[in-house]
Amino acid sequence: MRRETGSGHGKARYLRCVRKFLDRYYGRLRKIKANYVLLNLFNLKRLSHARRMYRKYGVKRNVLLPINSTHLPKESMDKPWLDGSEATQRLLASPDLNRFDSATQEALKRWPEQGYVVLRGLFRPDEVEAINAEIDGLIRDKVVDFNFTGRKIMFAFRHSALLRRYVHDRRILDLMDFLLGRKVRVFQSINFLTGSEQHAHSDSIHMTTYPLGYMIAAWIALEPVNGENGCLVYHPGSHRLPYLLNDGYDHGGNRFVIGEEAYARYEHAIDEAIKQGGFPATEFHAQPGDVLLWHANLLHGGKKMARADASRKSMVIHCFAEDVLCYHELTQRAAMMER
């Protein structure tokens, strides 16, 4: 079932080494924009989607160069159909809602006001066991490794037919298509063996779309998760806050480098937004196979683990709508999309 893509090709091996080096050493090298320009140069085929979207939205910029929200046209009036004041009425009136079972319909009704959907027991125990065994094997065989955080295994599905099947599972993607009102495309997967303990954030600072809002994520519990082993924490309703992008806080960068403390400053700004908006934190306690879907702008993070060695296996899937521009606001580069 397992296959490492690109093996046997010198260029592919070189690019993987460059990416691994940049991911592993999150120091000054990751702050220098020229390094990403060089990486883009060797990945032109994977930037073909960005080139098409640049033409579609009138972005007058070379796809190799850094890009962020300040380089884009003024925000389009286009937005997901369930964003806005009449979203609940639209959802309830949609005939497509009846495609889902009654429990799923009730869960979907949370989306407009709360910005998330909980799906209990979506994956069977044998499916969860198969995913965990596959990840263990990929790690043991040194096919995948943790990135610079020491916690995240990125894009494992590219090396496994089994994981590709579950990452593209229609039980999740059909719901995502419905919630965004457009077909979605899988962008990345992240596997965890422990809690992320990540600060509250919106995914849209990392995986951004133009127009805004056309990214969606799913978190899958692969073992029991509670307040002791680093559960997911989210802030219901926070998706309705204005998107915090580079022009909304002092990120400290310039045309050559990303700000040395850009992300720390972003986290501080998010803390202030949560306090001012009065969005209480909710913990997602889950059993294996439970799934949480969340909005592109829902503020969320990971609770600190009670023990440093606590196990908390999970998998995250991030998807974009097919026909929008996808880029990374924080690191200011176009997203590389697999064909």
> What does the pLDDT read at residue 20?
62
The predicted-structure confidence for 267-283, as pLDDT tens digits, reads as follows 999 999 999 999 999 99
Instruction: Work out the mean pLDDT of the chain and round it to a whole number.
Output: 93
- Determine, yes or no, domain membership for 317: yes
Give the total number of structural domains in the chain: 1
- Determine, yes or no, domain membership for 78: yes
Task: Report the alpha-carbon distance of residue 258 to residue 246 in Å, rounded.
Answer: 11
Q: What is the mean pLDDT of residues 303-326?
A: 96
- Determine, yes or no, domain membership for 172: yes
Instruction: Provide the total of helices (H) and of strands (E) in the chain, helices listed first.
Output: 11, 12
DSSP for 300-329, written as a single string = EEEPPPSSTT----EEEEEEEETTSEEEET
CATH number of the domain bearing residue 218 = 2.60.120.620
Kindly indicate the confidence band of residue 76, based on its pLDDT and cuts at 50, 70 and 90.
confident
The DSSP call for residue 34 is: H
Q: What is the mean pLDDT of residues 29-53?
A: 92
**Boundaries of domain holding 206:** 10-334
Is residue 6 scored above 50 in pLDDT? no
Candidates 101, 115, 85; CA nearest to 179 is 115
> What does the pLDDT read at residue 149?
87
Task: Report the alpha-carbon distance of residue 196 to residue 25 in Å, rounded.
Answer: 18
Locus of tokens 């990135």: 147
What residues does 320 pair with on adjacent strands?
185, 215
The three-state DSSP-derived secondary structure of 180-229 is: HCCCEEEEEEEEECCCCCCCCECHHHCCEEECCCCEEEEEEECCCECCCC
The CA–CA distances, whole Å, from 161 to 3, 137, 192 equal 7, 13, 19
- Determine, yes or no, domain membership for 4: no
Q: What is the mean pLDDT of residues 326-337?
A: 96
The predicted-structure confidence for 136-166, as pLDDT tens digits, reads as follows 999 999 999 999 889 999 999 999 999 999 9
- Determine, yes or no, domain membership for 2: no
